[in-house]
Structure 1
Amino acid sequence: MKAQALHGHLDALLLAVLEGGPLHGYAIIEALRDRSGGTLNLPTGTIYPALRRLERAGYVESSWSTVNGRERRTYHLTGAGQRALTGERSSWQEFSSTVGRFLGGPSASPQAPA
């Protein structure tokens, strides 16, 4: 799946991944790929700018650490990020339900009066 298809949803996906606990950037990319069954195989050039945007918004905080001699930036969800994720989930449910009425197949759309 291309990053453009995720327009408007990438931030929510990142927040959801970080809900499970702090992760470094590459682990976030792996989590997106794993949880999507390989469908979301996004490049670092898509993920890191989004993480910086979430950090500027106060939804994510980061810290540097050294692991096996390598510097890693680890990201974690803030309280504001958890609240934003709750709002994103609610919005997604409403959007998904509405679109499903059109794209969910013939049985998904209400019958027109005769």
Structure 2
Amino acid sequence: MQAKQEPVDWPSDWLRATLGMCALRALESGPSYGYAIISALAGAGLGTIKGGTLYPLLTRFEAAGWVATEWRPGEGGPGRKYFSLTADGRRTLAEQREAWRNFTHTTTGFLNSPEHAGQGA
């Protein structure tokens, strides 16, 4: 079991850029509902994601065919909408994961390369 990460105040543009693939990743191990996805992201150290940010994203993913939804009855309370990855969603996550690895490798190389230091216009 992975240890809970301390929250970090990440720049909002970084979170916007990665939230989609992180939400797909949160569904990789099986169906889940919004609050549990938000908790998983927070537990991974991504900070607090608001439902008003996550739910429209999941709705777009459903329209794209990346997630499927199912209403399940609640235990003593209202039902919950569960989200699960489709085959297209798994393929998309794999593609995004690989592209992200390449992008972070490239940017890290640039940021750490002494040959690019001080090369202004």
Q: Give the TM interval when normalised to the shorter protein.
A: 0.7 to 0.9
Q: Does residue 65 of the first structure (1) align with residue 76 of the second (2)?
A: no
Specify the alignment match of 2:3 in structure 1: none
Letter of the aligned partner of 2:90 in structure 1? Q
1:111 CA drift (Å): 5.2
Alignment root-mean-square deviation, CA: 1.7
- Partners of 1:22 and 1:74 within 8 A in 2: yes
1:2 CA drift (Å): 5.4
Runs of 4+ in 1 over 3 A off after TM superposition: 1-4
Judged with a 3 Å threshold, the aligned counterparts in structure 2 of structure 1 residues 3 and 78 are, in CA distance, closer, same or farther, namely farther
- Superposed CA deviations along residues 40-63 of structure 1, whole A, max 9, x for unmatched, are 211111000000010000000011
Q: Which runs of 5+ in 1 are unaligned?
A: none
Structure 2 Cα separation of the partners of residues 111 and 54 of structure 1: 41
- Partners of 1:2 and 1:42 within 8 A in 2: no
Secondary structure of 1:63's partner? Answer: strand
Specify the alignment match of 1:51 in structure 2: 58
User: Which structure shows the bigger proportion of residues in strand conformation?
Assistant: 1
Structure 2 Cα separation of the partners of residues 13 and 83 of structure 1: 14
Q: Which runs of 5+ in 2 are unaligned?
A: 1-9, 117-121
Structure 2 Cα separation of the partners of residues 7 and 41 of structure 1: 13
Q: Does residue 87 of the first structure (1) align with residue 90 of the second (2)?
A: no
* Equivalent residue pairs, number: 106
Which among 12, 23, 28 is matched to residue 21 of structure 2?
12
Specify the alignment match of 2:43 in structure 1: 34
